[in-house]
Chains A and B, each alone.
Chain A
Amino acid sequence: MVPFILRRLSIALPSLLGISAVLFTILALAPGDPFAELANNPNVPADVSAMLRLQFGLDDPVWQRYFRWLWAMLQGDWGFSFASRIDVDTLIWQRVPVTLAVIGASQVLALAIALPVGVISAIKPYSRFDRIASTLTFVGFSLPTFFSGLLLIMLFSIKLDWLPFVYRADISATGAQWWWEQIRQSIMPVLVLGLFQGASWTRYVRSSMLDVARLDYVTTARSKGLRERVVILKHVVRNALIPVVTLVALTMPHVFGGAIVTEQIFRIPGIGSLLIDAILKNDTPVIMAVTFVFACLVITFNLIADLLYGFLDPRISFR
């Protein structure tokens, strides 16, 4: 297992470097020196501006700037937000937990939907349940998160007035009251993200179940006289979930995309809404850092999925 983990890490780290190179190349190709806002400010005299350019090495070759930037990022020096006037890393670390909490809760919801529905659909394919479920999954992942979010707001906040539609980070209540408020304001964002994810995962679970159910060893298990329940749960589901783990990892970038939209609709103070705010305020250091954090999160989750895959399917880790 240990060499397997090391091998996976040795794949993940170069991708992280690759992503950082892609990001920096984009920035370097972009017109108008985005990092040089201060140096290009017309109120700053020309000689001061030249000094600043020299000091920050803005005229150095691209690769030198890349390595300087990478080194600074690795050391935790992520720069200074133009708009908020505080360090970028403090700004981001304030907001990462909220994003992770919302995403985590919605993934749990998605799993709680996808597993049972997918398995039951696959046990009797093309039954009435399966047909209703598959129509609903199509609706589920065709309904864009920004529209379903607005629909929920219209229904639960405006029409029924049950749930608040603006997420508040500064709830003053304590104890049980705090948790109650917290849950009330999280219901809609988690529903939006969780239903969307759950819908596409249900399809993966179902088709993977169908692929496994026709393998010979399942027939063997049945002919041994095992009960149907045991065959399905112990023999089919366990193996069917292995490819699902990979597919889930592959959809991770989309999950974070959905999180940005959801955070923006419900004004959740996570890194997604931070990114949008930063873009609207031309706050380049924050934009770069948040994009990089998203990339890191995607890679981390891919790594976790890979390790989980190795754990679920021991053949992989010995290869």
Chain B
Amino acid sequence: MAFSTPASPSAESIALKRSPESPLRETWKRFRRHNMAAISLSVLFALILLVVLGPVFWPVAIDNIDFSARLQGPSLLHPFGTDDLGQDLLARMLYGGRISLAVGFAAMFTAIFIGVLIGSLAGMLGGLVDTALMWLTDLFLSLPLLPLLLLLMYLFRDSLKAAFGPEVGVFIMIVVVIGGLSWMPVARLVRAQFFSLREKEFVEAARALGASKARQMLRHILPNALGPVIVTGTIDVAAAILAESTLSFLGLGFPPDVPTWGRILFDSKDFLDIAPHWAMFPGLAIFLAVLTINFIGDGLRDALDPRRVL
């Protein structure tokens, strides 16, 4: 049903819009819709730039404890205020933001890597392999995500900390676990794309010319299947940022000396009545990052969706 084509142009315009619209208006509307994604893209870019270059312009230590400046609101000295130890929140947020965003992107790449691998294996080989892999995908789809994340963090955190140090160990752990639990939609998408693409004429031509299975997959099918994968991947970044923030907010993500946005929020929640700014800034930062990424994903979906020929 989702892939149906309109019976005729008129059927769609009557069904969806009461009055026919001029091409100019249509274009303007499309431009406006992409505009939201465009604005989001520049906001996200600014956010990333701020987080990456920020420490250069705001060289304040993140662990500079100053009890005379506890729980202060925003001021010139501390633009985002201070926490209960008098540490500068702007500096902490710039530092933590780098980790929060890095987790998001790294987890997305992990998810896409696993998803594309499993999806293309299932789609190319078919048969028993396909059945087994899709059963695995369905199994993973019905796993309770957050409880499992918590369980894995609980069981493996200490040994990874011992092996790689607290920061890197938890980072690897969180990225692998979030990526390893969110590859399923990508796998399904890639498999569906493979099924429809491998019967297309251009792949048949490649087959007739003697292209190996691997070459058909990598050169001909995969590039054509990438559109929806990019969209899903974008939204995965937002989901991963949310997942990391949730873990840290529950106190089970990064340790206290690694102030990711979720962790700052976790620390702030006992001081909501006297220091609301402490919760507001990291919360807004997470919200902004997730919102802009979701908008960009939506814009990409419109731009890359081949069935939307407006």
Contacts and interface: CB of A to CB of B under 8 A. Distances in A.
Contacts of A291: 144, 147-148, 150-151
A219 interface: yes
Interface stretch (B50-58, B190-198, B244-252): B244-252
Interface residues of B, number: 57
Interface in A136-190: 138-139, 141-144, 146-147, 150-151, 153-154, 158
A142 B159 CA distance: 33
Interface string A284-319: 000110110011011100100000000000000000
A147 B147 contact: no
Interface in B257-279: 262, 265, 269, 272-273, 276, 279
B295 interface: yes
Contacts of B242: 144
Interface in B265-310: 265, 269, 272-273, 276, 279, 283, 286-287, 290-291, 294-295, 298
B250 A261 contact: yes
A279 interface: yes
A144 B276 CA distance: 17
A124 interface: yes
A32 B160 CA distance: 13
B294 A219 contact: no
Interface string A104-144: 00000000000000000000111000000001001101111
A292 B150 CA distance: 13
B11 interface: yes
Nearest to B291: A142
Contacts of B290: 142, 144
Interface stretch (B1-9, B70-78, B106-114, B209-217): B1-9
Interface stretch (B13-21, B79-87, B122-130): B13-21
Contacts of A261: 146, 246, 249-250
Nearest to A278: B154
Interface of B: 1-2, 4, 6-7, 11-12, 14-18, 29, 33, 36, 135, 138-139, 141-148, 150-152, 154-156, 158-159, 238, 242, 245-246, 249-252, 262, 265, 269, 272-273, 276, 279, 283, 286-287, 290-291, 294-295, 298
14 contacts: A22-B139, A135-B36, A138-B291, A138-B294, A144-B283, A147-B287, A150-B265, A214-B7, A219-B7, A253-B146, A256-B146, A261-B146, A261-B249, A291-B151
